[in-house]
Amino acid sequence: MSKREQYIAAIDIGTTKIVSIVGKKNENGKIEILGLSKALSRGVKRGVVINIEETVTAIQTTVEDVQKRSGIKFSEVFVGIAGQHIKSMKSRGYITRDSYEDDIKKEEVFRLIEDMHKIHVEIGEEIIHVIPQNFIVDNETGLKSPIGICGRRLEANFHIVIGQVAAAKNIEKCVRRAGLSVKDLILEPLASSDAVLTDDEKEAGVVLVDIGGGTTDMAVYYDNIIRHTAVIPLGGNVVTNDIKEGCAILQRHAEQLKIQYGSALGDIAPDDKVVAIPGISGRNPKEISFKSLAYIIQSRMEEIIDFVNFEIQNSGYADKLAAGIVITGGGGMLKHLPQLMQFRTALDVRLGYPNEHLGGAGKEEINQPMYSTSVGLIMRGFDFLETYKKSFNAAPGQEFDEQGDDILEPAAVPDEDQAGTAGEPKTSLSEKIKMIMQKMFEVEDNPINQ
């Protein structure tokens, strides 16, 4: 078992797309993506599941496709969570140790983190992440890791991410119905940060802005520590809706216009260029100027940037962001968006690609801002397993089947007749088939008299 390669599977449930992805670590520690599949997401609005059936269908489609492409079967996945219900807070906790002389062990740090999961939150909310920022041992402050240090009192400052129980349960329900179990829920801006930010940027101070279809996710780092997270309930879809309303055209044409001809700066859009949109149901084509299209996009993007600016000020680290802003996500690919954001925030801005930790043959195909969260979920999955020393049920087809009882299939909830009553042995599949065949032949031998 120890010789088998470790694979990680993840699902990014977004407002516009659902992505299933499988990856492994190569000998250089780089992430190799073995398979990726995406499908349109119709059951999710602003990061929250609103239609279980639609979401389950999309998850099943992408999971089957990615298993076929990669040859890797899995029964567990890491899943991203976002949505406007996400909020964060700061807290402090401590434990008093029995002895001064003994070194602080990893288990004690885990115990301190576990205690923070018990702090009071509002009814209907739950703690998704407890992230240690720094540790204090007997008034010795600013420690990144206390393991191996002697002391009586172990304290830590924490960044705590809170979300709605219902939203998390709906995500888990969708994954379970698709025949999988959720290994861990991961906040999407944290996953995106892992994929696109460099260690130097995190140290100098940086803001990650992940512009998705329904939400814009944010994470602020300084001195290699996560300082602030936020989810803004606006994304690329509101821009598309504005174009649809402003130009009186169909949604699909508005999306196409935004991607092909859209710009976030109206002032530099050409005056003399127009694009013709097919008329609805045989009506005359409609001409839309590049300039008016750009102004529609700019006005909505300015609103999103103002929200980003507010969250930056709210973090308390606005004057410590030497590395500025990194934009990623599908919405970040809008032309001239970095220039507009730089103008509105007075910070350096670059477009973030998930190439920092990628390796292998399919690197170029995956290296797009829209896949930042998906790649980050794979990286977070490996971190989770290394930290907690847990196993993950994923293997090439034949090996996976050979593991047999080791693999749990949470979706296959036994029926009453299948499971048997308590204390009775469970009927094997071959015995069941025999029983069914016997019943069939009994019916044939003893036809019902009219």
Residue-wise pLDDT tens digits, 350-397 = 999 998 888 877 777 889 999 999 999 999 999 999 888 777 888 887
| Residue 160, pLDDT above cutoff 90 | yes
CATH dotted code for 87-164: 3.30.1490.110
pLDDT at 409: 37
pLDDT at 448: 43
Residues of the chain with CATH 3.30.1490.110: 87-164
Kindly indicate whether the domain formed by 198-353 is annotated with CATH number 3.30.750.24: no
Highest mean pLDDT among 95-104, 323-332, 350-359, 398-407: 323-332
pLDDT at 437: 52
Residues of the chain with CATH 3.30.420.40: 1-86+165-197+356-450, 198-353
pLDDT at 57: 96
| Residue 274, pLDDT above cutoff 80 | yes
Q: Would you identify the CATH topology of the domain 1-86+165-197+356-450?
A: Nucleotidyltransferase; domain 5 (3.30.420)
Least confident of 7-21, 161-175, 206-220, 267-281: 267-281
Q: What is the pLDDT of residues 116-143, one digit of tens each?
A: 999 999 999 999 999 999 999 998 888 9
Contact 345, 321 (CB under 8 A): no
